[in-house]
Amino acid sequence: MNQAARRWNNPWLILGNVSVGTFMSTLDGSIANVALPTIAGSLHAELHVVQWVLTAYLLTICATLPVMGKISDMFGRSRIYNIGFLIFAVGSALCGLSDTLGLLIGSRILQALGAACLMSNSQAIIAEVFSSKGRGRAMGITGTMVSLGSLTGPGIGGILVEHLGWTSIFWINVPIGVLGFIAGWFILPKDRDRKAAQPFDYTGSVLFMLGMVAFLFVISGGQDWGWMSPAVLLGGGLSLVVLVLFYVWEQRSRHPMLDFSLYRIPAFAIGNLTALLSFVALFFTNVLMPFYMQDVLGFTPAKTGYTMMVYPLVMAVVAPVSGWLSDRIGSFTLTTAGLLINALAFGLLNTLSTDEAAWMVGLHLGLFGLGGGLFQSPNNSSVMGSVPRDRLGTAGGLNALVRNIGMVLGTSLSISLYSSRLGAVRPYAPGEREAALSALHTVFWTAMAICLLALLVSVQRRRTKPRKDSMPA
């Protein structure tokens, strides 16, 4: 452990605090899914409008993650992270108090701003506190929290909504957030004195947020509007124009909000692109396996939830171990093995029939937990270990951004492919289940191809060499 880490409090306590924030912020991206029908009835709103409870949260995070990372590099990672706990708790309380849909959506945006503060700094704090000998193991634990939060949200949400009402999915965050803030005040490493703050890139930040929100909004609504509709073509074109303007501005700015020079670091660029493709593929499974279990196999929602839990539980065991191993043997072997297993798992999903037991489906999902656990922790450690210390916040924000963009793209593309192959997404009579299964096979073969593409990118990391100004060993 480096000398700076020795001066701080126990790094494992810091890891514990960061893990709580990571779990909470990712959990709330999916915990409201099963509550939408209940919220729609309670607030007398149409279900397609209530979808904005989810969309607003995710779009806000994607639009602000790099901004929060830059702010953290300027004003202190621990400070911004801890403020995120407080904002998240206040936003959650306002969600619980909301009696109109507009107030609920606005509160979710505030909650997402707090989540962006947490997400953009969690990996940066861990990368700085732990030396290379312990960084992989620590990243494995934070990676586990990301997966547990993302994948257990619907199950936890369903239990809370059934027994305590829909507001409970938000109120549960309040005491955890307050306690996390208090603990972080004493546990988190004190930010070092910063040099005179650089001017903040307001123009670049506005261009990025406008372009990213517009792009993801079009992607999310493309299936409903039609991919060749004027709204999608015009909206998509305008969003790309804004993002190009953002890139040109950042290249000319003396103090850019998003430092594209990070992508000249091979390990950083390879790790980010691989993570993006991996999350796109894996969210094909996260979104459509419940359709398979309920519409094709006839599982109850509870049985579906319990079966889906196999994925994060296996990952929770594997990810810390793979992180520990990456400290000793490097990231190449583990990331390669993880992506190969995921590709194999997608191929095996195509062997499932219209009559399968829950344990067999769970066994297939367990392979994704194994592959994801082997890949994510070493990949995160490789990415965060490749950048200069003073840009860890920016790097952490970008790493979290590609994860969230991957989730949006995976969700939208899988549903679009499934719907276009089948004609509509709906419950199926027994005679139509074969058609549904055939559509799912198309989706899973596509996901396998994306996984193999990620593998081709990932193996290039063998050629990378450590930078002299990267995180020290």
For residue 197, tell me if it sits in a domain. Answer: no
Do 179 and 283 sit in the same domain of this protein? no
Final residue before a domain boundary, out of 190, 224, 247: 190
- Please report, rounded to a whole number, the percentage of residues in the chain having pLDDT higher than 90: 14
Q: Over 80: is that where the pLDDT of 234 sits? A: yes
Compare 458 and 137 and report the one with higher pLDDT. Answer: 458
Final residue before a domain boundary, out of 163, 190, 217: 190
- pLDDT in the model for residue 340: 94
Do 276 and 186 sit in the same domain of this protein? no
Do 433 and 300 sit in the same domain of this protein? yes
Average pLDDT over residues 403-424: 75
For residue 243, tell me if it sits in a domain. Answer: no
Cα torsion angle, 418, 421, 425, 427, sign: negative
- pLDDT in the model for residue 393: 65
User: Hey, how many other C-beta atoms are within 10 angstroms of the C-beta on 129?
Assistant: 25
For residue 111, tell me if it sits in a domain. Answer: yes
Do 280 and 405 sit in the same domain of this protein? yes
* Cβ-contact 121, 394 below 8 angstroms: no
The total number of structural domains that make up the chain: 2
Quote the CA–CA distance of 425 and 418 in Å, as a whole number: 8
pLDDT digits (tens, 9 = 90+) for 169-190: 889 889 988 898 888 888 887 7
- Provide the pLDDT confidence category of residue 472 given band limits of 50, 70 and 90: very low
- Cα dist from 316 to 282, 395, 449, whole Å: 16, 24, 26
Quote the CA–CA distance of 296 and 287 in Å, as a whole number: 15
Do 155 and 265 sit in the same domain of this protein? no
Compare 433 and 111 and report the one with higher pLDDT. Answer: 111
Tokens of 201: 């890139």
What is the widest separation between alpha-carbon atoms in the chain?
69
Domain holding 40: CATH number? 1.20.1250.20
pLDDT digits (tens, 9 = 90+) for 265-290: 888 888 889 989 988 888 788 777 87
- pLDDT in the model for residue 468: 47
pLDDT digits (tens, 9 = 90+) for 74-124: 778 888 888 999 999 999 999 999 888 889 989 999 999 999 888 878 877
Average pLDDT over residues 392-411: 75
Do 320 and 173 sit in the same domain of this protein? no
Indicate the residue type of 340: L
Our CA dihedral for 401, 419, 313, 273, rounded to 10 degrees, sits at -30
Do 18 and 117 sit in the same domain of this protein? yes
Final residue before a domain boundary, out of 138, 160, 190: 190
For residue 222, tell me if it sits in a domain. Answer: no
Give residue 103's domain range.
10-190
Do 180 and 263 sit in the same domain of this protein? no
Do 297 and 426 sit in the same domain of this protein? yes
- pLDDT in the model for residue 155: 67
Do 288 and 380 sit in the same domain of this protein? yes
pTM of the model as a whole: 0.73
For residue 110, tell me if it sits in a domain. Answer: yes
∠ CA 28-31-36, rounded to 5°: 120
Average pLDDT over residues 399-411: 78
